[in-house]
Amino acid sequence: MVQLPAQPIGPTIFALASAPGRAGVAVIRVSGEGASRVLDYMAGPRPPARRASGRFIRHPESGEKLDHGVVLWFPGPKSFTGEDVAELHLHGGRAVVQAVLGALAIMPGLRMAEPGEFARRAFEAGKLDLAEVEGLADLIDAETEGQRRQALAQASGALSDLYDGWRASLIEALGLIEAGLDFADEGDIGAKTFTDATAVIKVMAQAVTHHLEDGHRGEILRDGFRVALTGPPNAGKSSLLNALARRDVAIVSDEAGTTRDVIEVRLDLGGVPVIVSDTAGFRETQGAVEREGMRRSQAAAEAADLVLWLTDASAPQTVLPPELAAVADRTLLVLNKVDLLSDGAAPALPDDMVPLSVKTGSGVDDLMKRLAVIAHERIGHHAEPALTQVRHRNLVEGCRAALQAFLDGSPDEVELRAEDLRRAADALGRITGRVDVEDVLDHIFGRFCIGK
């Protein structure tokens, strides 16, 4: 029986850092002052720093062997959290993982980590800023290649570098303004410093405006390009949704009005996440339930980045109902059931209408390619980092408003113009956490799983 030390240690957290469930390998991470003690008592002798070493993992009190695995030791501050960190790489059976977690729980000063607590400690240690933390969360959640690239760039500091550069320019301009205040008695010096500051702000205001006017491409890539599948009843919307998903996700019936609620499927089209929503058909009806379904259909169409209007080749309805008039500029017409046409050819229809047959599969791949092209065109291929979060957009818009207030304001009110620049710098600083952001920390780190 091993006697555990009674003296207190600093707050030390532990958690399963790999996915839960049966796996070949499971990773348990420990961070804090007690990480070294975990290795000494459960996997001693402590291995050299940053070198993987095979060890028996033992119960800290009884000495019982719990597993044979690999351990790693990362002494602070050269670790992810900036603290002492230990990693236990175990066999991924549930019994092994639970036995080791249970053993850690009895050690004095150790406790299970909260969601995102490892990342929060990394932020508090200056290892990551808030924009990088959010990029890391997006990287964990990434489902497509495009999302992976965008999240990795943000987690690697691309967005932070842009905002820090702007903030440095603001501080430079603010320094010029304050220098003018110091030499207020010498009018020529004050006028020149204000002119020089204005030149810096004009260039920056243009860059900020360009950054904001990006068609929300970063947010679309992060959250998904939304496509609403609309049309009259029995046009084949649910069948098309099943064909796009390559599985049965929606009920298909000859009875009109079968679809009452919005059903969604997620597709990966060339690295872009595309969310297709099947909606209730548009028609005159007296039923309260079906009317609610059409109301939801209209809401889905208005929120979509692209609307597909699917119509029957035998009686094509190419004119959108009044409910969809507001989305006509982003609607693609799709003609279904072309296999039923006697001559096998579609009637004279708009040039951009896509003909297909869900029944035979003809044209479905062409529609998917068309969707991929439209989604890629909307997102674009830009070298500069994109806004990915509503939080970022709101703060950058606040920065732009402050810059515009500076440019529109009277140069005679120098103190007020300096305050405009301080507000702009504060907005940018709140994106990366350079200024007080306590009100958003819980929201950001709460997105993570427990082991991160």
Q: Report all structural domains of the chain as residue ranges with CATH numbers, in order of start.
A: 12-113 (3.30.1360.120), 132-214+387-445 (1.20.120.430), 223-379 (3.40.50.300)
pLDDT at 431: 94
pLDDT at 251: 47
pLDDT at 253: 42
pLDDT band with cut points at 50, 70 and 90 for residue 263: confident
pLDDT at 180: 67
pLDDT at 175: 83
Whether the pLDDT of residue 6 is over 50: the answer is yes
Q: What is the pLDDT of residues 15-45, one digit of tens each?
A: 999 988 899 999 999 999 999 999 999 998 9
pLDDT band with cut points at 50, 70 and 90 for residue 254: very low
- Average pLDDT, rounded, for the chain: 86
pLDDT at 77: 95
Question: Among 126-140, 277-291, 366-380, 386-400, which stretch is predicted with the lowest mean pLDDT?
Answer: 277-291
What's the mean pLDDT in 164-178?
A: 88
What's the mean pLDDT in 201-227?
A: 93
Q: What is the pLDDT of residues 292-330, one digit of tens each?
A: 667 787 888 888 999 999 998 888 888 888 888 889 999
pLDDT at 316: 83
Q: β-strand 354-355 against 306-312: which pairing, if any?
A: unpaired
Give the residue with greater pLDDT, 65 vs 287: 65
Please name the amino acid found at residue 220. I
pLDDT band with cut points at 50, 70 and 90 for residue 274: very high
Question: Among 137-141, 221-225, 436-440, which stretch is predicted with the lowest mean pLDDT?
Answer: 436-440
The answer to whether 144 and 273 are in contact (CB under 8 A) is yes
Residues 6 or more apart whose CB falls under 8 angstroms from that of 101 comprise: 14, 16, 28, 112
Whether the pLDDT of residue 168 is over 70: the answer is yes
Angle between helices 414-432 and 390-408 (to 10 degrees): 170
Q: What is the pLDDT of residues 99-112, one digit of tens each?
A: 999 999 999 999 99
Report d(CA 185, CA 195) in Å as an integer: 17
Whether the pLDDT of residue 54 is over 50: the answer is yes
pLDDT at 313: 84
pLDDT at 443: 54
pLDDT band with cut points at 50, 70 and 90 for residue 66: very high
Whether the pLDDT of residue 349 is over 60: the answer is yes
pLDDT band with cut points at 50, 70 and 90 for residue 438: low
Per cent of the chain over pLDDT 70 is 83
What's the mean pLDDT in 398-408?
A: 96
